[in-house]
Amino acid sequence: MDYQTLAELLFPEVIETPEEVEKRFPPRNLPEGAKVTRFAPSPTGFIHLGGIYGAAIDERLAHQSGGVFYLRIEDTDAKREVEGAAEALILTLAEYGLVFDEGAVIGEDGKITDRGDYGPYKQSQRGPIYRVFAKKLVSEGKAYPVFTTGEELEKLNAVDKKAEVKNKVWTEETAALQKEKMKKEREFTLEEVKAHLVRGDRFVLRILADGNGERTLKTADLVRGTLELPENDEDFVLLKSDGIPTYHFAHAVDDHLMGTTHVIRGEEWLPSLPKHLQLFRYLGFRPPKYLHTAQIMKLDENGNKKKLSKRDMGLDMKDYRRNGYAPECVSEYIMTLLNSNYDEWRLKNPDLPYTDFPFSIKKMSNSGCLLDFPKLTDVSKNILSRMSAEEVYEKLLAWAKEFDQPFAQTLESDPAKAKAILAIGRGGKKPRKDLATWKDAKPYMSFFYDEYFKVEDSYPDAFPKEDIAAVLRAFLESYDDADGADVWFEKIRVIASSLGYAADMKEYKANPDAFRGSVADVSMFLRVAVTGRINSPDLYTVMQIIGKKSTSERIEGMMKALA
């Protein structure tokens, strides 16, 4: 077969040579050891935790090494594309600190623009580039067309999809049939090709596989180590009948031309690796280093590991948003998933940004990671407890505006009050950890606001109502909101003593039978009346924030209820 003629017949419009294309994509001028990584989503509008997890590895590897982290939109499957999804994705990733240097980036004006010398960064715009390399493969006898028409074509495309994209397990019978068919399709003459072209028939372009499925190929994955995979003996599709490349072909061409050094992608691509290595070899490209990430798992009711499904909370980033997880907390949590020594580092460096942590591939586990909500809650509480009240207020307000407008109005009606509430117990060595998510804020803060206030807890039965009522009355008689904390507390001690409650805890503990209770109980009587709860932040501060009017009204209300 005269492959050169075949190539001309199939791709007459392609005049650029591979060498000319290579010149347009020269090697990157980067310092030694700099890594070039990419996030390469299909714009389906769905961003899941595994995606953020993988992108976080990309981002850390690139930026830690002075390299480049770029975005490539893999939009070759128009059916799956959702309008505006790419923009939404870029903005969501940016919330998680994943900001691209190249590809589609957020410009200084906040708008999304294309940046970089290795574009276009949308695969749908790279058609001519793929065809240059397709033509080269045909001219070297490494790829061949399979002509089909109408229905037959659809069937063929469907089979290719199943076999390659989803890596479906084939029965031996279908595999044998497929092989038989493949062998036949390899045989054709130039005359036949010409006749098809004259009729306007379309073709898919397949690789001419030189592998032997009985033999294994040794290769390496950065986390999994040495891998032994069967060689590829399947003539997989490079270009679909509409001229659009498959993932395999686009991956090889793009990652080569764009200078990707490390490909981080889901483990569902692992079985396709022999195809990719074959393709890189055919094209004369040096393959990148690969890291295949394991699926994120959860524990089911029986304590068994299970893959997260689309229906599970914890997969779709929209769930995190709606449930009020701050992106900062999720990013921090992801770091704990990525490197097991992260927690230790964080303990030693409570105030450093997570980007200061020396992330290392070597410290990644290859057993797949488990989504652990109690851990996420813990991590989140720590992160939120270290933010300033001002920052918490701004972020909480933004969340509430989207998901709880009435609460947003409450917050905005008196920003100083909201910030004062959020400032309680903040800033010290052991800050309070009331919030794990923005959703937690309303239940935590609600009692400060009359419109939400209700008595949630009741007094322990051990205390006579008369005692409680007497404390509330005495407090109201002496209450002055101008008192400082010391004077305020001294007054409570006096009330305690006057009613047979120990004013001093030591005294009480030494001889509990001599008292009706202690000053702690007296404070609790007031606390339940004013906050509606047995537990609350420092009561003096609470009263200062609520103000004299509401404090008095609540105490009076409780006295009525007890009467």
Q: Which residues bind ligand GLU (CB under 6 A)?
A: 40-42, 74, 251, 263, 265-266
The CB-of-83 to ligand GLU minimum distance in angstroms stands at 18
Output 265 or 381, the one with its CB closest to ligand GLU: 265
The CB-of-375 to ligand GLU minimum distance in angstroms stands at 27
Output 251 or 256, the one with its CB closest to ligand GLU: 251
- Nearest Cα neighbor of 240 from 119, 124, 71, 72 is 124
| DSSP symbol at 163 | I
CA pair distance 42, 256, nearest whole angstrom: 19
The CB-of-76 to ligand GLU minimum distance in angstroms stands at 9
Output 41 or 67, the one with its CB closest to ligand GLU: 41
The CB-of-203 to ligand GLU minimum distance in angstroms stands at 24
Contacts of 317 (CB under 8 A, 6+ apart): 47, 48, 49, 51, 52, 92
**Phi, psi (degrees; rounded to nearest 5) at 434:** -85, -25
Task: Report the amino acid identity of residue 140.
Answer: E
User: Please, are residues 366 and 293 in contact by the beta-carbon 8 Å criterion?
Assistant: no
Kindly state the tokens that stand for 70: 């770029």
The CB-of-237 to ligand GLU minimum distance in angstroms stands at 16
CA pair distance 502, 514, nearest whole angstrom: 9
The CA-based angle 256-261-265, given to 5 degrees, is 90
Kindly state the tokens that stand for 533: 């709860």
Output 133 or 501, the one with its CB closest to ligand GLU: 133
Output 203 or 290, the one with its CB closest to ligand GLU: 290
Kindly state the tokens that stand for 67: 């390299």
E-strand ranges in 374-466 read none
Output 41 or 517, the one with its CB closest to ligand GLU: 41
The CB-of-219 to ligand GLU minimum distance in angstroms stands at 16
Task: Report the amino acid identity of residue 250.
Answer: A
Output 272 or 518, the one with its CB closest to ligand GLU: 272
Output 135 or 276, the one with its CB closest to ligand GLU: 276
Q: Which residues pair with 1 in a beta bridge?
A: none
The CB-of-108 to ligand GLU minimum distance in angstroms stands at 28
Output 235 or 255, the one with its CB closest to ligand GLU: 255
Output 180 or 268, the one with its CB closest to ligand GLU: 268
The CB-of-220 to ligand GLU minimum distance in angstroms stands at 17
The CB-of-541 to ligand GLU minimum distance in angstroms stands at 50
CA pair distance 340, 334, nearest whole angstrom: 11
The CB-of-255 to ligand GLU minimum distance in angstroms stands at 8
The CB-of-60 to ligand GLU minimum distance in angstroms stands at 16
Burial 402-414 (b: 16+ CB within 10 A, else e): eebeebbebbeee
Kindly state the tokens that stand for 200: 């306007």
CA distances from 283 to 169, 220, 247, 248, 269 (A): 28, 20, 15, 12, 20
The CA-based angle 198-202-205, given to 5 degrees, is 120
Output 74 or 160, the one with its CB closest to ligand GLU: 74
E-strand ranges in 107-257 read 112-115, 143-148, 202-207, 216-221, 225-230, 237-239
CA pair distance 498, 489, nearest whole angstrom: 14
The CB-of-268 to ligand GLU minimum distance in angstroms stands at 7
Burial class (CB in 10 A: 0-12, 13-18, 19+), 7: buried
Q: Helix, strand or coil for residue 217?
A: strand
Output 100 or 501, the one with its CB closest to ligand GLU: 100
Are β-strands 289-293 and 517-518 bridged in parallel, bridged antiparallel, or unpaired? unpaired
Output 293 or 410, the one with its CB closest to ligand GLU: 293
The CB-of-410 to ligand GLU minimum distance in angstroms stands at 42
- Nearest Cα neighbor of 517 from 467, 473, 552, 457 is 467
Output 279 or 326, the one with its CB closest to ligand GLU: 279
Are β-strands 112-115 and 305-307 bridged in parallel, bridged antiparallel, or unpaired? unpaired
Peptide bond just before 537 cis, omega within 30 deg: no
CA distances from 291 to 134, 273, 357 (A): 27, 11, 20
E-strand ranges in 72-158 read 103-106, 112-115, 143-148
**Dihedral sign (CA 524, 527, 531, 536):** negative
User: Residue 471 CA to chain centroid, in angstroms?
Assistant: 52
The CB-of-44 to ligand GLU minimum distance in angstroms stands at 8
